[in-house]
Amino acid sequence: MLKLTRPEGNLPGDLDVSRRALGGLFFAGYAAAAVSASAAPIITDLDGLIAEMALIPAGDRDIPAYVARPDARGRFPVVVVVSEVFGIHEYIRDVCRRLAKLGYIAIATDFFARHGDPAPLTDFASIRRIVSAATDAQVMNDLNATVAWVGAQSFADRKKMAITGFCWGGAAVWLACSRYRHFRCGVAWYGRLTRPAEGQFLSEPEREWPLELAGFLKAPVLGLYAGRDQGIPVADVELMNARLREFKKEGARIVVYTDAQHGFHADYRASYDQEAAQDGWRKMIDYFADHGVRGKRF
């Protein structure tokens, strides 16, 4: 039986940690379109945790969400985790468990539930159709429903909430922090910053993008980006940093890992960069704590 390992970047001695090569083990539950045969994903056990699926009332229907939290009494701070285009697959669930090990309630809502499950698909055209069907309006409505649901739970400290997300979810972090005051802060991992060219994936005119929203941020955002990202040029990152300074968004900033590629935190992919991923994780946890969302010991 596989033992789950530590949250990456945790302080030595906080948890029993290791990163284990999985060899020929079948990558059950990981995004089929992106998993690398050479990957050795971090696997986090459930010791001391409760992890379960919940149904979030979202108006037109209930939507599923994965919730991981400490198996302990008391109220714990909340981190909303927004997935990449592959949805709530095993990598996202493991990120939630890593956060729960550090004393957070981590909740990852399936924003694509109405349209399909991209995780088992290998055809990117089909994945894009599912993701494109999730409009900004729908995603933000589901996010509001998620915040309302988790905030009503007896184990949640609703006054201490943060949000993080990866790729597609990174862009959603910027959008959420520009619209709402639910969160004390956000951490966006390599989310697109500028509007795609007409006709490209997610180029619908009604969508909003971080560069357009910099002046409206209601909570500070830490951006974690890659210097070798083929889809997000460094020029876009520099422009976003300049926009944040222009609008005096104190506390909001972007860190660039010069030698990393897009998806550098995704440990099931060939783009995984352990050094950048661990440093980014530490920066994220410190950023949460600096803004009043510190994991609670249990």
60 is catalytic: no
Tokens standing for residue 1: 């039986």
Q: How many C-alpha atoms does 286 have within 13 Å on its Cβ side?
A: 11
Count H helices and E strands in the chain, helices first. 7, 8
DSSP, res 65: E
Q: What's the rounded Cα separation, in Å, for the pair 148 and 211?
A: 28
| Contacts (Cβ under 8 Å, ≥6 apart) of 275 | none
262 is catalytic: yes
Looking at 89, 182, 262, 265, which residue is catalytic? 262
167 is catalytic: yes
Comparing C-alpha atoms, which of 169, 201, 199, 209 is closest to residue 86?
Answer: 169
| Contacts (Cβ under 8 Å, ≥6 apart) of 290 | 185
Helix/strand/coil for 153: coil
Q: What is the dihedral of CA 169, 170, 173, 178, to 10 degrees?
A: -130
Looking at 229, 236, 267, 273, which residue is catalytic? 229
List phi, psi (to 5°) of 49.
-120, 160
Looking at 96, 110, 142, 167, which residue is catalytic? 167
**Which residues participate in catalysis according to the annotation?**
167, 229, 262
